[in-house]
Structure formats: C-alpha cells, structure tokens
C-alpha cells in the first residue's frame, strides 16, 4: 500500500492500527492493519519502504490522522536457526506519530 492509499483509508476510518516492525540490520517496515486489508507501506515503485528509525516513520506519517501506532520488536532468539520455538509474544510498545519531531512512547 502506498502512502496516498494509506492516507485515504486512514481518513475514511478504515485503518485499525499501524505496526512499525523493527528488523535485523537496523531498519523498520510499516505493517498496516486495515478493516479489510493487511499490507506493508510501499514506495511509489511498489517496493517495501524501509524506514530508518521511529522518528523517520513519524515524519512519513505526519499527515495522517492519529491512529493506534506500535513499535514491534521480536526476540532475536526466535530468528536463530535451530533454536527451539518460543511462545513469547513480541514486545509491542505504543508510539505516537504526532508531536515534537520524535516518535514518543
């Protein structure tokens, strides 16, 4: 989903929450949970948008209406090859993308 599509759906009240997924390598992607769709934020060429930080995500999302917005971090142990699966849920922290230029907890 491109930013203009996300904006339109958010203004129509069709977005339930946004999850900023923290990935290995120090970048983030935005998982969009809508009423009828689940998608990732995409660049204009259709590739998944890689965000540099929660602050960068806040800047990109600055024109959206306030929505539930979370930073989601999975345990690195869940990604290890050969490690036993764990039942622990990922760490999910509420953020705000409105305000002082920094994504705040």
- What does the domain layout of the chain look like in residue ranges? 3-95
Tens-digit pLDDT profile for residues 15-59:
999 999 999 888 999 999 999 999 999 999 999 999 999 999 999
What is residue 62's DSSP assignment?
T
**pLDDT exceeding 90 applies to what percent of the chain?**
66
CA–CA separation, 49 and 29 (whole Å): 6
Residue 80 phi/psi, 5° resolution?
A: -75, 135
* pLDDT at res. 89: 74
Candidates 3, 35, 4; CA nearest to 17 is 35
* pLDDT at res. 100: 45
Q: Is the dihedral of CA 33, 34, 38, 41 positive or negative?
A: negative
Q: What is the pTM of this model?
A: 0.81
Q: What is the CA radius of gyration of the chain?
A: 14
């Amino acid at each position: 989903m491109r930013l203009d599509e996300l904006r339109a759906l958010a203004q129509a009240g069709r977005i339930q929450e946004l999850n900023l997924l923290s990935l290995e390598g120090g970048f983030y992607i935005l998982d969009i949970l809508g009423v009828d769709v689940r998608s990732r934020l995409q660049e204009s060429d259709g590739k998944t948008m890689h965000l540099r930080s929660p602050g960068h995500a806040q800047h990109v999302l600055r024109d959206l209406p306030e929505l539930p917005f979370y930073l989601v971090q999975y345990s690195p142990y869940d990604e290890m090859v050969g490690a036993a699966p764990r039942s622990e849920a990922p760490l999910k922290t509420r953020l705000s993308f409105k305000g002082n230029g920094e994504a705040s907890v």
